[in-house]
Structure 1
Amino acid sequence: MYIAMMVVLAIVSVILILSVLLQEGNSDGLSGSIAGGAEQLFGKKRGRGYQGILNKITIVMSVVFIVLSLALVTLGK
């Protein structure tokens, strides 16, 4: 069980790294993120397309990574 969870954690880690690296960078800086943040948050394009899919994959893989890491720590004791 422990080894299987470690393998799944390694796969999730690779997917998480790739999904973060494939996302577009935010080159607006601090002022652009404050001024244009509401437009992106409430805009129509946020959940659609390639970037929306990458955002969802990143969120799901992050949650799975945290849950698996905590489960492995408790099993290791």
Structure 2
Amino acid sequence: MAVVKNILTGLLVLVEIFLIGVVLLQSGRKAGLSGAIAGGAETFFGKNKARSFEGKLQRWTKVSAVLFIVIALVLVILE
């Protein structure tokens, strides 16, 4: 049982680091003045948002957050 806990703890640390990195790479909701000027470009990118870099970052944030919660709950249950 100790081996499983150690493996899950190591995996949890890796997911934590990945989650922090993905969140830090995302831009804010409002990009300031440049977002106001380039607002017309949102109509094109809005359709293809899932394929853009921002869309991928959002997807990876959700996946890593779910993994973090599941692994943390499994570790608590194993205690």
Q: Percent identity?
A: 39
* One of 9, 22, 26 as aligned partner of 1:23: 26
Unaligned runs of 5+ in 1: 29-38
* Poorly superposed stretches of 4+, deviation over 6 Å: none
Greater C-alpha radius of gyration: 2
* One of 44, 48, 53 as aligned partner of 1:50: 53
TM-score relative to the length of structure 2: 0.74
Name the structure where helix makes up a greater proportion of residues: 2
Indicate the RMSD between aligned Cα atoms, in angstroms: 1.7
Unaligned runs of 5+ in 2: 32-41
Secondary structure at the residue paired with 1:47? helix
